[in-house]
Every structure is written in C-alpha cells, then in structure tokens.
Structure 1
Amino acid sequence: MSSHVVEDAINKMKDSNIRITPQRYAILEYLVESKSHPTADEIYKHLEHRFPNMSVATVYNNLRLFTEIGFVIEMAYGDSSSRFDFTSTKHYHAICDKCGKVVDVFYPGLEDVESATEQLTGFKIRDHRLEMYGLCPDCQALEEK
C-alpha cells in the first residue's frame, strides 16, 4: 500500500516540475511508512546513515516543501518540536498527555462541520483540524500499576 502512495506523491511532484532527489524520496518514503508522526530530528536520525552529508536543514526544507504542496501537515503542539504527518485522507489525532504518542483517527462525516460553520458564521472556511487529548492505553496501564 505505502509504495503506491509514495509513487503517487512522486508523480505529483514531477508534474509540478519538482526535482526528485534521493534524499527527498527517502524523507517522503519514511513519512509514508512511519506511523509515529516523526519530528524533523527523528527523520534526520533515521536517514543520516544512508545520507552522511545530509543536514537537518535539508530535512526541514523538504518538510516545508511537502507541507506547501499539501502532502504533509505540520502538527505543532505546545512548545515541543513539530511532528509531521503524511496525509492522503482527512483524519484527526488522538494525543497522549503523558508520552506524546499521536494516533490517527479516521472519522468520516466530520466534513459537514466546515459547511455548518460557514452557515453559522459567514466565514469562508479553508480547513479544519481536530485534536483529542487523553491517556493512551500504555500510559493508562502504567498508572494502574
């Protein structure tokens, strides 16, 4: 599943005349395959052995590019470093207060919230995001001990 998602993203970049460097491909691939919503530093650490002369700045610049194109969303929570999420379908996030784990939640039907908001406020809504905070099962188990 993930390889065709990567290929689709690569083809969209080619259509926009964006050069596909090996680093760019690797960052995108890691984002698609990673379920952990990695930070730029985590992506860098995961790939530095494959690209010894790649800098953290390269990772950040590519993440910024992917965010501008719309492949990736930057999840900035509080003062911790941003996490990045490859997104092919609209989804939401459940975030653990204790360990910071982020889990995707797919909840179709919430698209209506944009049109309802437009009707109630007169705003022209561009986007929305929903975050739920609580304790993940692992942290709940630790607390029970």
Structure 2
Amino acid sequence: MAKRNFSSKRNAIYNAVCGTDTHPSARWVYDKLKPEIPDLSLGTVYRNIALFKDEGKVSVICNVNGEERIDGNTEPHPHFVCNKCKAVIDVEDNQNADDLKSQLAEEGFKVENRFVIYYGICPKCSAEVH
C-alpha cells in the first residue's frame, strides 16, 4: 500500500466517523465539519470515506434514504434501523455467531464476514406513538 501524506481534513473526517455512535452518512460528516473547515467539500468527504472503506477502517452498515451509513467500529456486531426516524443503533445479539460459523464450516461454507441488521421501530419512536 502506498504511503499517503498526512491530511488534516482526512484526519478530521475519520475522527468524525469514529467519534460518534450515530452511524453517520457522508452528508452528516460534511455538515458537522464544514463550520470548522470552511474549504471542505462534500466530494472530499466521499473520497476519504471510500478510502477508509478500502483500507478496512470503516464499514458500511446499510443505506438509509439513499445514503450509506458508516461505522468506525469494524468488529462484527448487529444493528437496528428504525423505519420511522431512520436511526441506526448498535444492539446486543445473544445468538452465538461462533457456533453458527462452526456449523457452516462443517457444511463446507467459508464465512468471511457477517452482517446482522434488524428493522423496525425504535423505543423512542414507539413511545411517541403511545
């Protein structure tokens, strides 16, 4: 891999992605950083997020309203997407993924990665309905 020069914008973009648990979109990152980096472009944010994805530093969780939602935590873990407010939330999953992976391996499958996403209505939106 080619060595890249340090970029304060790239560093700020990466820190914005990793510094939140909201699973941001590129637009969210841009909107957050633009006030402190006036010459930041949305294209720069997209290019750097693509670079982070290629390097395995961030993961794409899902698309919500046509925008990729990014996670700085690349360890496999489940998410919940609220169909109402569009929040992407880390959740606990009590299923034993290692047991399933072993079972699949016995059946000849080679698991390289896993993604578990639940869709529904989050507790905040459920409370607003009642």
* Structure 2 Cα separation of the partners of residues 50 and 79 of structure 1: 27
Query: What is the CA-CA distance between 1:79 and the residue it aligns to?
Result: 5.0
What whole-Å deviation, never above 9, does each CA across 1:115-144 have from its counterpart, x for those lacking one? Answer: 322323x23221110011121111111111
Structure 2 letter corresponding to 1:50: E
Query: What is the CA-CA distance between 1:16 and the residue it aligns to?
Result: 6.5
Give me the identity figure in percent.
30
* Greater RCO (Cα-Cα under 8 Å, separation 6 or more): 2
Q: TM-score, normalised by structure 1?
A: 0.78
70-79 or 46-55, which deviates more? 70-79
User: Which residue matches 1:103?
Assistant: 89
User: Which residue matches 2:40?
Assistant: 54
Report the number of matched residues: 129
Q: Does 1:85 align with 2:78?
A: no
* Structure 2 Cα separation of the partners of residues 142 and 80 of structure 1: 25
- Contact persistence 2:57–2:72 (CA under 8 A): yes
CA gap 1:113/1:18 in 2 versus in 1, 3 angstroms? farther
- Contact persistence 1:73–1:84 (CA under 8 A): yes
Please, which of 98, 102, 114 is the counterpart of residue 115 of structure 1? 102
* Structure 2 Cα separation of the partners of residues 111 and 77 of structure 1: 27
Structure 2 letter corresponding to 1:110: A
- Contact persistence 2:59–2:70 (CA under 8 A): yes
CA gap 1:86/1:79 in 2 versus in 1, 3 angstroms? same
Q: Does 1:37 align with 2:37?
A: no
Q: Which runs of 5+ in 1 are unaligned?
A: 1-14
User: Which residue matches 2:53?
Assistant: 67
Q: TM-score, normalised by structure 2?
A: 0.86
